[in-house]
Amino acid sequence: MAAQIRKTYLNIETTLIEGGRAAPQPLKLISAAVVLQNPWAGRGFVEDLKPEIHAVAPEIGALLTAMILEAAGGADKVEAYGKAAVVGLNGELEHANALIHTLRFGNHYRQALGAKTYLAFTNVRGPANTPIMIPLMDKHDEGRRSHYQTGHFSIPDAPGADEIVVALGAATGGRPHHRIGDRYQDLKDLGHDVANPASV
């Protein structure tokens, strides 16, 4: 069963000035989304979600990855990344989770970028025009706080009650004028082992 995609969505936000000061270079936050029919809609409680995950997740993972790379101008331009899903009100939160928390979805993006970190995420249930927030982190280093950012958008007519919005996000750099350091310096200051931050 192929994904029944109603529409795609692409948002590009470019920051030129932050804090009253020109950015060293323009920062692009890119959000790409698909609005698709919830493959479990109208079927009651479905015990085994795997058939639809295997059929749908790879297709939308590949499509969204291609949209991000085209908008960014190539994989080398993307420094931070993340993912999100919103399931419509007739669906289960598990349906949103199912399509983004599988390597069949995320590995398209991760491998295209040569990324090492996990994809930060949000997944919620909501009506059309639900705010969609995509947390972003450095694709190689989760402790690099300069790249902690959030892509933020909404789609006025999605998700419908029996739809899911699935999205990927990207940033072409860190926050302009970032100046809060990184977690490694905090760990050193606190006397923690950087390789074992929880001291376990």
**DSSP string of 163-183?**
EEEEEEEEESS--TT--S--H
What percent of the chain lies above the pLDDT cut of 70?
A: 97
Give the pLDDT band (50/70/90) at residue 185: confident
CA 184, 185, 187, 193 torsion: positive or negative? positive
CA 35, 37, 39, 40 torsion: positive or negative? positive
Give the pLDDT band (50/70/90) at residue 191: confident
Q: Taking CA 10 as the corner, what is the angle to CA 6 and CA 16, rounded to the nearest 5 degrees? A: 165
User: Which pLDDT does position 140 carry in this prediction?
Assistant: 96
User: Which pLDDT does position 200 carry in this prediction?
Assistant: 47
Asked if residue 19 has pLDDT above 50, the reply is yes
pLDDT digits (tens, 9 = 90+) for 79-127: 999 999 999 999 999 999 999 999 999 999 999 999 999 999 999 999 9
Q: Mean pLDDT throughout 148-164?
A: 98
Asked if residue 196 has pLDDT above 70, the reply is no
Whether the model clears a pTM of 0.85, i.e. scores above it, the answer is yes
User: Which pLDDT does position 165 carry in this prediction?
Assistant: 98
Q: Taking CA 133 as the corner, what is the angle to CA 68 and CA 150, rounded to the nearest 5 degrees? A: 75
- Comparing 109 with 191, the larger pLDDT belongs to 109
User: Which pLDDT does position 18 carry in this prediction?
Assistant: 96
User: Which pLDDT does position 197 carry in this prediction?
Assistant: 63
User: Which pLDDT does position 38 carry in this prediction?
Assistant: 98
